[in-house]
């Protein structure tokens, strides 16, 4: 019997994993794969690129931001997600990421309003630049971690992760004296990711594309259609996003133009590469963090600058939390760490939060959120939560893997806490650049 099966029999939601600092504990029931047919109905939105993803071979999907989200193109028998990974790290890939809904804040008070809802300083974001940001509730919990694009002095776009931020932003504005309009706009992005992305993008936009800095923006045209380009992406590889204006009208023209430009570069349409973003230490909202997670628990302390003078939602709670951390009494039990995990290669999405133990024979004390196989490192890697006292680099742990991945059925495999990112990124994110400079990103 596997450890997962034993855990289900002992209790339905792992009481030995202390989640007393949460209102709603993470569901740690180990149910395994439960394949069901995805119902397609008008209750969930189809993005402008949905039918194009189907034509490209999409065979599975999930719901993200209330939009159907393609999550697989290469069938398991043909190599599955790891075949898609191979295209990402060697050539160039096209992703349908229209689920990154675009929420525009526009008006004379746009900067002041955005400054109220993000932890970083909006005034320091130049026009035609983007930033990775977080928005927190009054308790300091992370509500969303979008890329924020500053299109003009009076216009910002929130490119959302998986939570419905528009309603919250509109609610914050109620009764407040900010002269802004907050709307979802008809803009849908695709991502172009991989080492040959700059070649493809040069063919589309010209040589000036190579001059865009990380998180830089460029106005341009594809097939005569108006787009905004950013040098961003959900990987540690070189990459870009193309934000198509009036996307419901022009999705086919732009998508097909990118496919045509990609032919000489061995372009492949793939799903968002969670296996690569794990290696880069990039977080996924709803999977690695949620509204009950403080930034300090997930290596996002650098997103809470000590130098921001203006007030913002969550500031008081975050400053209290930082003071407690510095006094040695953090207001949370668990923190996220990176782990190397033994066992057979994990080449597919985990259906459960697999359990972490302090040792092979101990009770579960934590859980994995994002495990994958790293071909470059020759081992499984994972993001996951463990008690603060077990979070130091080098700490030995054990992980319950399903029998198909375990070295020995029914027995936990060895694991070790390691540095994040797991390997250097071609396109380092802010946290990596801070680490290279020796800056403190923890608190």
Give the percent of the chain with pLDDT over 90: 91
CB proximity list for 227: less than 8 A, separation 6 or greater: 219, 220, 221, 242, 243, 244, 245, 254
Range of 442's domain?
A: 1-31+333-443
Distance in angstroms (rounded) separating the CA atoms of residues 199 and 219: 18
Tell me, yes or no, whether 166 lies in a domain.
no
Cα of 139 vs its chain's centroid, Å: 22
Question: Tens of pLDDT along 335-389?
Answer: 999 999 999 999 999 999 999 999 999 999 999 999 999 999 999 999 999 999 9
Question: Tens of pLDDT along 282-303?
Answer: 999 999 999 999 999 999 999 9
Bridge partners of 397, per DSSP, are 415
CB proximity list for 389: less than 8 A, separation 6 or greater: none
pLDDT at position 429 is 66
Question: Tens of pLDDT along 91-142?
Answer: 999 999 999 999 999 999 999 999 999 999 999 999 999 999 999 999 999 9
pLDDT at 441 over 50: no
pLDDT range class, residue 1, cuts 50, 70, 90: very low
Dihedral sign (CA 105, 215, 98, 381): negative
Dihedral sign (CA 282, 285, 291, 293): negative
Tell me, yes or no, whether 270 lies in a domain.
no
What's the chain's average pLDDT?
94
Instruction: Give the residue with greater pLDDT, 4 vs 202.
Output: 202
pLDDT at 10 over 70: no
pLDDT at position 425 is 75
Tell me, yes or no, whether 8 lies in a domain.
yes
Question: Tens of pLDDT along 384-429?
Answer: 999 999 999 999 999 999 999 999 999 999 999 999 999 887 776 6
Distance in angstroms (rounded) separating the CA atoms of residues 170 and 437: 38
pTM for the model:
0.94
Tell me, yes or no, whether 401 lies in a domain.
yes
Instruction: Give the residue with greater pLDDT, 429 vs 28.
Output: 28
Distance in angstroms (rounded) separating the CA atoms of residues 341 and 323: 33
Tell me, yes or no, whether 404 lies in a domain.
yes
3 state DSSP class of 188: strand
3 state DSSP class of 325: helix
Tell me, yes or no, whether 257 lies in a domain.
no
pLDDT at position 15 is 86
Question: Tens of pLDDT along 158-191?
Answer: 999 999 899 999 999 999 999 999 999 999 999 9
CATH number where 429 lies: 2.40.30.110
In 67-196 the beta strands, taken as DSSP E runs, fall at: 67-72, 92-96, 102-106, 129-132, 135-136, 142-144, 147-152, 155-159, 181-184, 187-193
Tell me, yes or no, whether 233 lies in a domain.
no
Distance in angstroms (rounded) separating the CA atoms of residues 193 and 437: 26
CB proximity list for 260: less than 8 A, separation 6 or greater: none
Tell me, yes or no, whether 146 lies in a domain.
no
Question: Tens of pLDDT along 236-273?
Answer: 999 999 999 999 999 999 999 999 999 999 999 999 99
The domain tally of the chain equals 1
Q: DSSP letters along 231-249, please?
A: S--SSSSSEEEEEEETHHH
């Amino acid at each position: 019997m596997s450890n997962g099966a034993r855990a289900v029999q002992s209790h339905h939601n792992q009481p030995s994993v202390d989640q007393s600092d949460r209102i709603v504990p993470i569901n740690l029931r180990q149910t395994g794969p439960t394949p069901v047919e995805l119902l397609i109905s008008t209750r969930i939105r189809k993005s402008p690129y949905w039918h194009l993803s189907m034509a490209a071979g999409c065979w599975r999907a999930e719901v993200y931001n209330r939009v159907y989200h393609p999550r697989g193109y290469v069938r398991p028998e043909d190599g599955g997600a790891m075949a898609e990974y191979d295209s990402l790290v060697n050539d160039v890939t096209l992703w349908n990421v229209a689920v990154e809904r675009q929420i525009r804040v526009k008006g004379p008070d746009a900067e002041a309003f955005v400054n109220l809802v993000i932890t970083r300083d909006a005034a320091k974001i130049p026009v035609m630049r983007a930033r990775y940001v977080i928005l927190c509730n009054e308790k300091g919990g992370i509500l969303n971690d979008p890329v924020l694009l500053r299109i003009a002095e009076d216009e910002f776009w929130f490119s959302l992760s998986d939570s419905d931020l528009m309603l919250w932003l509109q609610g914050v504005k109620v009764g407040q004296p900010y002269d802004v309009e907050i709307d979802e706009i008809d803009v849908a992005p695709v991502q172009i990711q991989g080492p040959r992305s700059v070649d493809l993008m040069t063919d589309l936009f010209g040589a000036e594309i190579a001059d865009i800095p990380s998180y830089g923006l460029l106005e341009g045209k594809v097939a005569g259609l108006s787009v905004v380009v950013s040098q961003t992406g959900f990987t540690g590889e070189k990459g870009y996003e193309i934000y198509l204006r009036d996307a419901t009208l022009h999705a086919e023209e732009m998508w097909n133009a990118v496919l045509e430009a990609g032919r000489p570069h061995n372009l492949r349409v793939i799903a968002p590469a969670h296996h690569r973003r794990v290696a880069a230490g990039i977080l996924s909202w709803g999977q690695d963090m949620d509204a009950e997670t403080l930034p300090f628990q997930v290596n996002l302390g650098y997103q809470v600058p000590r130098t921001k003078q203006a007030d913002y939602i969550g500031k008081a709670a975050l400053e209290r939390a930082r003071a407690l951390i510095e006094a040695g009494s953090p207001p949370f039990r668990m923190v996220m760490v990176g782990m190397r995990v033994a066992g057979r290669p994990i080449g597919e999405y985990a259906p459960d939060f697999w359990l972490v133990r302090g040792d092979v024979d101990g009770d579960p004390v934590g859980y994995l959120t994002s495990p994958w196989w790293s071909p470059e490192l020759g081992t499984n890697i994972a993001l996951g939560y463990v008690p603060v006292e077990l979070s130091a680099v080098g700490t030995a742990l054990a992980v319950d893997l399903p029998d198909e991945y375990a070295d020995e059925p029914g027995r936990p495999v060895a694991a070790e806490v390691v540095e994040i990112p797991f390997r250097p990124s071609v396109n380092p994110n802010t946290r990596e650049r801070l680490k290279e400079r020796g800056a403190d990103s923890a608190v």
